[in-house]
């Protein structure tokens, strides 16, 4: 399995875990954000069970730069991530549940017991998966962290576990503001995620 394809697959595996009934299209831009909205939506963020989203994901290192289209389904018990290049080329599928994760490409299949183990097995490094569950919602994990906010109270920068998470843009989905663009940096590794469509799922959705 080419190292380039496998690295992209393992990267996307780290970008899972934080969602599908009626589709809710994000509003364009950030028009409508106001003081107090972030604090007021904390309970709804806690109730966010998963999502289905589309967007783009990118990885940059001193040696390489890779980008792909992203289709990500996340539920409390199962996830599936589809990565593809232009016009569906270079298709990679990651899926799994607790205790078993798999990555399938045109070159073959790799398995491990967890996303962290798969990345460590194939790359020699891994992303902080448990923290990503929170970071994708604009929240810190439940351990020491540093956060900076804008004048409206929305987070702009989160530092945790050696990572720097920059929240570059937000989008409104129904009554909830969610990250539209974020960049995660650890040493010389940069991960960028741009969401073009959010479809969240909450505990009280039918």
Predicted confidence (pLDDT) per residue in 70-111, tens digit: 898 888 888 888 888 765 567 888 888 888 888 887 778 899
164 band by pLDDT with thresholds 50, 70 and 90: very high
Predicted pLDDT of residue 124: 57
Sheet with strand 146-149: strands edge to edge: 108-112, 100-105, 92-97, 79-84, 65-74, 48-60, 189-202, 176-186, 163-173, 155-160, 146-149
DSSP-assigned states of every residue in 45-111: HHHEEEEEEEEEEEEE-SS-EEEEEEEEEE-SS-EEEEEE-GGG-S-EEEEEETTEEEEEETTEEEE
144 band by pLDDT with thresholds 50, 70 and 90: very high
> Which tops the pLDDT comparison, 187 or 205?
187
Predicted pLDDT of residue 64: 79
Predicted pLDDT of residue 175: 86
Predicted pLDDT of residue 189: 87
Distance CA 44, CA 18 (A): 13
Predicted pLDDT of residue 62: 83
Furthest C-alpha separation in the chain: 50
138 band by pLDDT with thresholds 50, 70 and 90: very high
The pair phi, psi for residue 8, each rounded to 5°, is: -65, -40
Residue 155 has pLDDT above 70, yes or no: yes
Rounded-to-10 torsion of CA 138, 140, 146, 152: 30
130 band by pLDDT with thresholds 50, 70 and 90: low
Residue 51 has pLDDT above 70, yes or no: yes
Which of 97-101, 176-180, 186-190 is modeled with the greatest confidence?
176-180
Other Cβ atoms less than 10 A from the Cβ of 157: the count is 13
Looking up tokens 């409104």 gives: 172
Tokens representing residue 119 in the block: 């990345």
Of all helices (H) and strands (E), which one includes residue 121? helix 115-123
CATH number among 3.30.450.40, 3.40.50.360, 2.50.20.10, 3.30.43.10, domain 3-200: 2.50.20.10
Predicted pLDDT of residue 145: 96
Query: Could you give the percent of the chain with pLDDT greater than 70?
Result: 77
Residue 19 has pLDDT above 50, yes or no: no
Residue 131 exposure: Cα atoms within 13 Å on the Cβ side: 18
Read off the pLDDT of each residue in 101-127 and give the average, rounded to a whole number: 77
Q: Sign of dihedral through CA atoms 39, 196, 164, 104?
A: positive
Q: What is the mean pLDDT of the chain?
A: 79
């Amino acid at each position: 399995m080419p190292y380039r394809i496998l690295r992209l697959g393992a990267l996307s595996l780290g970008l899972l875990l934080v969602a599908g009934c009626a589709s809710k299209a994000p509003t364009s831009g950030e028009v409508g954000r106001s003081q107090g909205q972030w604090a007021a939506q904390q309970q709804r963020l806690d109730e966010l069970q998963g999502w289905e989203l589309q967007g783009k994901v990118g990885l940059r290192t001193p040696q390489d730069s890779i980008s792909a289209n992203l289709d990500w389904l996340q539920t409390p018990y199962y996830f599936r991530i589809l990565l593809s290049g232009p016009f569906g080329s270079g298709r990679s599928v990651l899926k799994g549940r607790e205790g078993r994760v798999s990555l399938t490409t045109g070159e073959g299949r790799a398995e491990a017991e967890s996303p962290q183990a798969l990345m460590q097995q194939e790359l020699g490094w891994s992303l902080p998966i448990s923290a990503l569950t929170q970071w994708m919602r604009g929240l810190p994990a439940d351990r020491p962290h540093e956060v900076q906010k804008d004048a409206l109270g929305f987070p702009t920068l989160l530092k945790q576990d050696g990572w720097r998470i920059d929240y570059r843009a937000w989008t409104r989905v129904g009554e909830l503001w969610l990250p539209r663009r974020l960049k995660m940096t650890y040493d010389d590794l940069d991960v960028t995620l741009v969401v073009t469509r959010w479809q969240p799922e909450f505990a009280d959705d039918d």
